[in-house]
Amino acid sequence: MTAPQSFYHTSSPAGLSGIRAWLLTHDHKRLGLMYLAAVFFWFVLAMVLGLLLRTELMGQGPTIMGPEVYNSMFTLHGVIMIFLFVIPAIPAIFGNFFLPIQLGTDDVFFPRLNLFSWYLFMLGGLFAIVALFAGDGFPDTGWTFYVPFSVEVDSNVGLTVSAAFILGMSSMLTGLNFVTTFHRMRDRSMGLMQIPLFTWSLYATAWVQILATPVISITFVLVMVERILGVGLFDPDKGGDPLLYQHLFWMYSHPAVYIMILPGMGVISEIIPVFSRKSIFGYKAIVWSSMGIAIAGSLVWAHHMYTSGMSDVSVFVFSLLTFLVAIPSAVKVFSWVATMYRGAIEMTPPLLLALIFIYLFTVGGLTGLVLGAVGTNIHVHDTHFVVSHFHFVMFGGTGFAFFAALHFWWPKMFGIMYRFKPAYIGASLTGIGFLFHYVPMLILGLQGMPRRYYDYLPQYETGNFLAGFGGYLLCLGIVIMFVNLLMSFRQQQPAGADPWGATTLEWSVPSPPPLHNFVAPPVVASFPYDFTTVVERAGKGGS
- 3 state SS of 2: coil
What's the closest the beta carbon of residue 256 comes to Cu ion, in angstroms?
Answer: 9
List the interface residues with Cu ion, window 325-354 (CB under 5 A): none
Query: How far is it, in rounded angstroms, from Cα 159 to Cα 228?
Result: 12
Answer for which of 26, 29, 77, 254 binds Cu ion (CB under 5 A) is 254
Stretch that binds Cu ion, among 1-9, 50-58, 249-257, 325-333 (CB under 5 A): 249-257
**Total residues at interface with Cu ion (CB under 5 A):** 1
- 3 state SS of 244: helix
What's the closest the beta carbon of residue 86 comes to Cu ion, in angstroms?
Answer: 14
Stretch that binds Cu ion, among 138-146, 174-182, 253-261, 523-531 (CB under 5 A): 253-261
Give every CB contact of residue 183 below 8 A, 6+ residues apart in sequence: none
List the interface residues with Cu ion, window 145-184 (CB under 5 A): none
Q: Which residue has the closest beta carbon to Cu ion?
A: 254
Which H or E run includes 417? strand 416-417
Closer CB to Cu ion, 254 or 412, in the complex: 254
Closer CB to Cu ion, 391 or 407, in the complex: 391
DSSP 8-state symbol, 531 = -
Cβ pair 304, 247 in contact under 8 A = no
- 3 state SS of 60: coil
What's the closest the beta carbon of residue 303 comes to Cu ion, in angstroms?
Answer: 5
Stretch that binds Cu ion, among 20-28, 123-131, 252-260, 534-542 (CB under 5 A): 252-260
What's the closest the beta carbon of residue 232 comes to Cu ion, in angstroms?
Answer: 28
DSSP 8-state symbol, 383 = B
Closer CB to Cu ion, 252 or 456, in the complex: 252
What's the closest the beta carbon of residue 318 comes to Cu ion, in angstroms?
Answer: 10
What's the closest the beta carbon of residue 413 comes to Cu ion, in angstroms?
Answer: 33
Question: Does residue number 29 form part of the binding site for Cu ion (CB under 5 A)?
Answer: no
Cβ pair 316, 351 in contact under 8 A = no
CA dihedral 201, 203, 208, 214 (to 10 degrees): 140
Stretch that binds Cu ion, among 65-73, 149-157, 246-254, 279-287 (CB under 5 A): 246-254
Closer CB to Cu ion, 77 or 254, in the complex: 254
Closer CB to Cu ion, 223 or 393, in the complex: 393
DSSP 8-state symbol, 396 = I
Cβ pair 197, 283 in contact under 8 A = yes
For residue 55, how far is the Cα from the chain centroid? 25
Closer CB to Cu ion, 301 or 408, in the complex: 301
Closer CB to Cu ion, 291 or 326, in the complex: 326
Closer CB to Cu ion, 302 or 441, in the complex: 302
Helices (H), 185-340: 197-229, 242-276, 283-296, 312-340
What's the closest the beta carbon of residue 304 comes to Cu ion, in angstroms?
Answer: 5
What's the closest the beta carbon of residue 501 comes to Cu ion, in angstroms?
Answer: 39
Closer CB to Cu ion, 253 or 276, in the complex: 253
What's the closest the beta carbon of residue 254 comes to Cu ion, in angstroms?
Answer: 4
Compute CA distances 401 → 30, 310, 358, 371, whole Å: 21, 36, 9, 23
Cβ pair 205, 294 in contact under 8 A = yes
Helices (H), 447-525: 461-491
What's the closest the beta carbon of residue 250 comes to Cu ion, in angstroms?
Answer: 7
Closer CB to Cu ion, 233 or 393, in the complex: 393
Cβ pair 430, 481 in contact under 8 A = yes
Stretch that binds Cu ion, among 68-76, 89-97, 254-262, 437-445 (CB under 5 A): 254-262
Query: How far is it, in rounded angstroms, from Cα 430 to Cα 427?
Result: 5
Q: Which residues pair with 417 in a beta bridge?
A: 493
Q: What is the CA radius of gyration of the chain?
A: 23
What's the closest the beta carbon of residue 528 comes to Cu ion, in angstroms?
Answer: 31
Closer CB to Cu ion, 304 or 437, in the complex: 304
What's the closest the beta carbon of residue 369 comes to Cu ion, in angstroms?
Answer: 12
DSSP 8-state symbol, 416 = E
Closer CB to Cu ion, 28 or 254, in the complex: 254
Stretch that binds Cu ion, among 102-110, 248-256, 356-364, 429-437 (CB under 5 A): 248-256
End-to-end Cα separation, the chain, in angstroms = 30
Surface-to-core class of residue 455, CB atoms within 10 Å of its CB (0-12 exposed, 13-18 middle, 19+ buried):
middle
DSSP 8-state symbol, 233 = T
Helix %, strand %, coil % of the chain (to 5):
70, 0, 30
Q: Footprint of Cu ion on this chain (CB under 5 A)?
A: 254
